[in-house]
Amino acid sequence: MLTEPHHTRVPALSRSILTVRPGDTLYPPGVRHWLAWTRRDGLFGTDDGCAGPALSLVGDAGLLSRTSVGLLCSVRCPGRIVLSAYDFARKTPQDGAVIIGGFHSPMERTCLQTLLARHVPVIYCPARRLHERGIPRAWDAALAEQRLLILSPFVGSQRRVTRDLARQRNLLIAALATVLFVPYALRGGNTEAVVRLRLHSGMPVCTLEDGENEHLMGLGVRGFAVAELPGMARPGEARSPFRESGKGLV
C-alpha cells in the first residue's frame, strides 16, 4: 500500500502486488472515464465516490504514462480479420506504443504471446482480482525487463471471470488507452457498445478497412488498411491516430 504518493518507487522485478489509489502519482487519469461509464452499475461502493477505486499492479507501472493502443475485438470474428489481427501483433514496432488489452479470446491470447515474444511493451488487464500465483512463469522475463504491467481494479471477492466483469474490464481498457483499436465488433454487441461510449467521449477509435466494419466506420471509427497497421501503433507516422488524440510518443 502506498502511504507517500509522491515518493513511489516500483522495483524492477517483483511479483508483489502494488496498490495505487486516487491521488498517487501512478494513478492513471483515464480512470475518470471508466467511472463515468460504469457508475450506474454499482461495481464500487459509495466510499470510492468520484475519485476511483484502488488499482492492483504487478510489473512496470511506468508503462501507464506512455502512449498506448487498446486492443478489443468481438470473440466471434471473420477469419480474414483474425489473420489481420495476427499481422498487427507480428508487425507492431517494439519502440512504438504500449499495447493494452484483456487478451481473453483465443485470437487475443495468440496476439499477447506474439507481442511478448517480440518484446513489445504490454499492459494486461484480467477480468478478475490479481493473485501472485496466477501469473505465468513464462512472463517472468517480460516482468524483469520492465515491458509488462498487469493491472486490475477488482477486489478479493471477484476471483473468477464473469461476463459482467469482462465487460467492465473492456471499458477500463477503452478508458486507459490513448487510441482504441477494434479489429472487429459484432453489430449491436458489447464491443460496439464500448466503441460508442468512447466516441461519445471524443476519444479516437480505429478499425480495419473491411466491409465487415462498415457499421463501425459509419459511426466515425477510423479505418486502416492492413499495410498501415504497423504505422497505427507508431505515433510519429503521418496517418497515426495519435495525432488526432493530441498525444505524442512518450
Average pLDDT value over all residues in the chain: 84
Mean pLDDT, range 125-145, rounded to an integer: 87
Supply the pLDDT for residue 245. Answer: 54
**Per residue in 63-92, pLDDT tens?**
999 999 999 999 899 999 999 999 999 999
What is the DSSP annotation of 121-175?
-EEE--SS---GGGS-GGGHHHHHTT-EEEEE---TT--S--HHHHHHHHHHHHH
Decide if 250 is inside a domain.
no
Supply the pLDDT for residue 187. Answer: 94
d(C-alpha 223, C-alpha 165), whole Å: 29
| pLDDT higher than 90, residue 110 | yes
**Per residue in 37-54, pLDDT tens?**
887 655 554 444 456 788
85 phi and psi angles, rounded to 5 deg: -65, -40
| pLDDT higher than 80, residue 169 | yes
Task: Sort strands 179-181 and 68-71 into parallel, antiparallel or unpaired.
Answer: parallel
Supply the pLDDT for residue 47. Answer: 46
Decide if 232 is inside a domain.
yes
Kindly state the percentage of the chain with pLDDT values over 70.
Answer: 81
Mean pLDDT, range 233-241, rounded to an integer: 63
Residue of 104 and 161 predicted with greater confidence = 104
Q: How many domains does the chain have?
A: 1
Supply the pLDDT for residue 173. Answer: 96
Residue of 141 and 52 predicted with greater confidence = 141
| pLDDT higher than 70, residue 154 | yes
Helix (H) or strand (E) holding 207: strand 205-208
d(C-alpha 190, C-alpha 184), whole Å: 12
Decide if 67 is inside a domain.
yes
d(C-alpha 54, C-alpha 167), whole Å: 19
Long-range contacts of residues 188-193, Cβ cutoff 8 Å, at least 24 apart: 189/74, 190/74, 191/72, 191/73, 191/74, 192/216
| pLDDT band with cut points at 50, 70 and 90 for residue 114 | very high
The boundaries of the domain holding residue 235 are 5-245
CATH classification at residue 59: 3.40.50.450
* Contact between 205 and 195 (Cβ < 8 Å): yes
Mean pLDDT, range 150-155, rounded to an integer: 86
d(C-alpha 180, C-alpha 101), whole Å: 10
d(C-alpha 94, C-alpha 116), whole Å: 10
Task: Sort strands 98-101 and 68-71 into parallel, antiparallel or unpaired.
Answer: parallel
Joined grid coordinates for residue 69 = 493502443
Decide if 157 is inside a domain.
yes
| pLDDT higher than 50, residue 184 | yes
223 phi and psi angles, rounded to 5 deg: -90, 145
Supply the pLDDT for residue 6. Answer: 40
Kindly state the percentage of the chain with pLDDT values over 90.
Answer: 56
- pTM (2 d.p.): 0.85
